[in-house]
Amino acid sequence: MFRCCSEGETLQAEINWFGLAGGIAVVLLIGVSIFVPWWQLLVGDSLVKANVSPIYTNFDFIGGSFTIPLLLALNISSIILLAAGGVAILIYSARPAESYSRRLLGFGYRKPLYALILFTVGLVAIVLVVKSVWSIDVPLMGSGRTTLPTNMTQGLTVSVLMVAGFQWPFLLGLAAAGLCIAAKFYDNKIVPIQKNNATNTSTAPATPPPAVA
């Protein structure tokens, strides 16, 4: 009976549910970010559109879509790192007490957080550079009307409406990062449970052999 209860407790502790949810969220994030950007900028009446994310970044100009090779290379690198982190978290979550699991957790749980930080910092830096170099105020969120530099408009005064905002995949990224970080803290609780169960099972009194008549 003791062994049955101990084995049942160990079975419940074998899965890190935060890590499992976080790994699934990371994989889902990669898939949806190919089609829906994390941040979008509209200039004028859809004259220029910027769809930006660590997974896929492209620009629309008067109906034509294009991307930049450097950004495409960075996007591919982000996909590889996020996918590796998501798979590592999923493998760890299934067997968190294995000898290799802590290394998988340490490798995987930081990847969504790093993607969010680098994306946000990079986006803010680009907005500041555009304002400093070309004197164009690009909003991070909301809308605003800005006047284009006269050297771009042949001396004419032209103002355009800009609308920008974070899209729902950015929120999914926040959720994925939060779940992966929660998996790291939860790991400290479930691994001792498994070790204690293993110790209790090993120290349980053995059934004496039947007496020989």
- List per-block mean pLDDT (blocks of 10 residues) for the chain, which spans 213 residues: 40 78 97 96 88 95 87 96 97 91 94 96 94 89 84 76 96 97 90 51 52 50
pLDDT of residue 158: 79
- For 34, phi and psi rounded to 5 degrees? -70, -30
Give pLDDT, residue 75: 96
Per residue, the 3-state secondary structure of 115-159, as one string, reads HHHHHHHHHHHHHHHHHHHHCCCCCCCEEEEEECCCCCCCCCCCE
Mapped onto helix, strand or coil, the DSSP state of residue 39 is strand
Q: How many CB atoms lie within 10 A of CB 82?
A: 24
Model pLDDT, residue 2: 31
pLDDT value, residue 55? 96
Residue 64, pLDDT score: 84
Q: What is the CATH number of domain 8-203?
A: 1.20.140
- How far is 110 from 45, CA to CA, in rounded Å? 39
Q: Which residues contact 162 (CB under 8 A, 6 or more apart)?
A: 41, 42, 43, 137, 138, 139, 143, 144, 145, 146
Contact 66, 59 (CB under 8 A): yes
Q: CA 179 to CA 184: how far, in whole Å?
A: 9
- Listed residue (123, 127, 125, 119) closest to 174, CA to CA: 119
pLDDT of the residue at 73: 96
How high is the pLDDT of residue 6?
46
pTM: 0.80
End-to-end CA distance of the chain: 28
Q: What is the reported pLDDT for 93?
A: 94
- For the chain, the structural domain boundaries read 8-203
